[in-house]
Chain A
Amino acid sequence: MDLPSGTRNYDYARDMAVLRTKTHWVLFTCFLIILFTAPLYLRDNVLSVLNLIGITIIAVTGLNILVGYCGQLSIGHAGFMAAGAYTSGILTSQLHWPFLAGLLLAGFSAGLIGIIFGLPSVRVKGFYLAITTIAAQFIIIWVINHWTNVTGGFNGMNVTKASIDGFVFRSQASQYFLIMAVTALCIFFAKNLARGRVGRAFIAVRDNDLAAEVMGINLLYYKLLAFFIGCFLAGIAGALQGQLYGFLNAEYFTLTTSILYIGMVIIGGVGTTIGPIIGVVVIRLLEQLITYISPFIEGAIPALSTGFTTGLGPMLFGLAIILFLILEPRGLAHRWALFKAAYRLWPFSY
């Protein structure tokens, strides 16, 4: 059902290939061309939304590896993102390291902090782990706010724009190329991780960690690896966001953001590569839509309270999480798969 009829697996390599048919290749090439020529015909404010979407996709892909594949719930993902953002910010802006080194070290520092707070996952799971990651979120943000001489504390910190070999990514368009390139790399990495040995081990741990241990999967190693990879990607996303805005403040990385990321994973589809992408795009566009239309609604119905604009987003979003969990726990990715199958079988759907 996953493939058009007539597609056969003659060898293992072809069985594992992501792009199977000529149509796949054509569509994929078209998509890449559109993706990387978008700055030519899109305005800057659209590009800035796309940049934010790209960064969020990186972070949520990391969270999906942790939650969707390995089953370790983390409600502190924005905290880990902040750790990466500040590492890169300090290295590039204050110590004048090259951007790429800062980016990688941001990933590593976030990953290491993730491992520290992931340590309890070896002994506890579910609610206990969720609470530990919430605690991680608050502790990281507290350290950032109070370590004033390094991070700037509540006042925040200015970050220089990314630059590679003297080329500075100043405009939204150049930022777009940088962010989309990193995003594409991260998705490629996540896809291949998920269908390799590590991904299979993660899935085994998620489905039943005791059974996985009996089968010879090293729980300590794989759980901490999941935390490391998930937080590594969060750190990269944080570093990109810091240099995109040119400014860092703990306000960008609140618990609410962490919950938003969890919701994106759920709405997109837990444990799929396409899920986080769909989830992020849908939620970010929904946010844009709300900020765009709510002034009109407020103008049309003056009786509405002033909290309408700020309150509507969280309400709709919370409702979306609840409804998706109850009605479609496999998320939009599953709907997308159903749609593809129906489309291929049309008009003979039996």
Chain B
Amino acid sequence: MSELLQYVLTGLAVGIVYALIALGFALIWKSSSVANLALGQIVLISSWFTYSMVSGNQLGLPYWIGLPLTIGFAIFLGWVIERFTLRPLIAQPILAMITVTLGVGYFLEGLVTFLWPVSVGALPRLFPVEPVHIGPAVISQQYLWAAVISLVLFGALSIFFKYHKMGIAMRATADDQMAVQACSIPVTSVFSASWIFACIVAAIGGVLVSSIAGITNGLIETGLKSFSVVILGGLDSFIVCMVAGPIVGLCENLGGGYLTPIIGAGIKDIIPYIIIVIVVIIKPYGLFGETRIERI
């Protein structure tokens, strides 16, 4: 019983962090219909940047300076990617849009190897490590903190999208680009903003994950796994990420907990991918997504 509770709690907490990273994907997809497959690499490079700033054997700044610097870096990264790779490709076929993000991802991966050749890094502790006892379960405090921060950030972003002018413009662009342009809202700067926000969200998600588990190339997989959140949720509103994320986290941890003795170690790692295949075959537009009707 305590095992079950343990898996559920860890799953929920991890799922919320996945949801945060997936939110970064959904932001871009909603406003510009670009599928950002470089998400994992953005998570990775932001974590390494944070490492450079705050780690003891690098610059060794405290977190309260390092984190704003990381966010600044994410803003810069998002702006550069949008301005120099996506904007020249506006109105190109979807295939080009997807593959260019693959190219960006490949480039960033090379850049990471180039600048941080050590391949494994550890961030200084961001949260206390003492485990918390909830009923019979023992859960690491770090996961709870990560989940809480993700939820707060998600709330803040929701308020931004609901009330701020730019947020409203971004939602409007998601709905109908032509109409937005007719209202003299600069669509290109909306695209820029969506990339910037996506990179910020991905960077914070990356710092949360890597402060717990260290920085490795596995962060790219964390980014890829968060696609299962997007697919399961269905991309139609931001709130579905917050529902689908914990579901994926639960599946991963429960499956990892109970299937490992039956199937073998490592099943946990591919559960998100199995979810993707099942969802795409059975219910392609996700649990909450609208079925799209196309015309010739």
| Residues on the A chain within 8 Å of B116, using CB | 307
| Contact of A329 (CB < 8 Å), options: B92, B224, B264 | B92
In the complex, are the beta carbons of B274 and A135 less than 8 A apart? yes
Smallest CB-CB separation from B281: which chain A residue? A120
- Would A305 and B117 be within 8 Å (CB), given that A131-B227, A138-B270, A321-B100 are in contact? yes
| Residues on the B chain within 8 Å of A125, using CB | 94
In the complex, are the beta carbons of B277 and A315 less than 8 A apart? no
In the complex, are the beta carbons of B100 and A139 less than 8 A apart? no
CB neighbors of B among A243-277 (8 A):
256, 259, 262-263, 266, 270
In the complex, are the beta carbons of B276 and A321 less than 8 A apart? no
In the complex, are the beta carbons of A326 and B296 less than 8 A apart? no
In the complex, how many residues of chain B place their beta carbon closer than 8 angstroms to a beta carbon of chain A?
50
| Residues on the A chain within 8 Å of B266, using CB | 142, 145-146
In the complex, are the beta carbons of A314 and B102 less than 8 A apart? no
Complex-state Cα separation, A46 to B281, whole angstroms: 45
| Contact of B95 (CB < 8 Å), options: A73, A128, A317, A320 | A73
| Contact of B284 (CB < 8 Å), options: A123, A130, A211, A314 | A123
| Contact of B280 (CB < 8 Å), options: A131, A316, A320 | A131
Smallest CB-CB separation from A305: which chain B residue? B117
Complex-state Cα separation, A67 to B295, whole angstroms: 23
Complex-state Cα separation, A71 to B94, whole angstroms: 10
CB neighbors of B among A100-152 (8 A):
117, 119-120, 123-128, 130-132, 134-136, 138-139, 142, 145-146
Most buried by B among A127, A263, A307, A317: A127
Smallest CB-CB separation from A121: which chain B residue? B280
Interface check B153, CB cutoff 8 A: no
Interface check B35, CB cutoff 8 A: yes
In the complex, how many residues of chain A place their beta carbon closer than 8 angstroms to a beta carbon of chain B?
54
| Residues on the A chain within 8 Å of B108, using CB | 318
In the complex, are the beta carbons of B107 and A318 less than 8 A apart? yes
Complex-state Cα separation, A134 to B231, whole angstroms: 13
In the complex, are the beta carbons of A307 and B99 less than 8 A apart? no
Smallest CB-CB separation from A320: which chain B residue? B103
| Contact of A126 (CB < 8 Å), options: B94, B111, B114, B228 | B94
Interface string of A293-329 (1 = CB under 8 A from B): 0000000000001111011111111111110011001
8 closest cross-chain pairs (CB), A and B: A307-B117, A318-B107, A314-B110, A311-B114, A321-B103, A315-B110, A318-B106, A311-B113
Which residues of A does B touch, CB under 8 Å?
67, 71, 73, 75, 117, 119-120, 123-128, 130-132, 134-136, 138-139, 142, 145-146, 208, 210-211, 214, 256, 259, 262-263, 266, 270, 305-308, 310-322, 325-326, 329
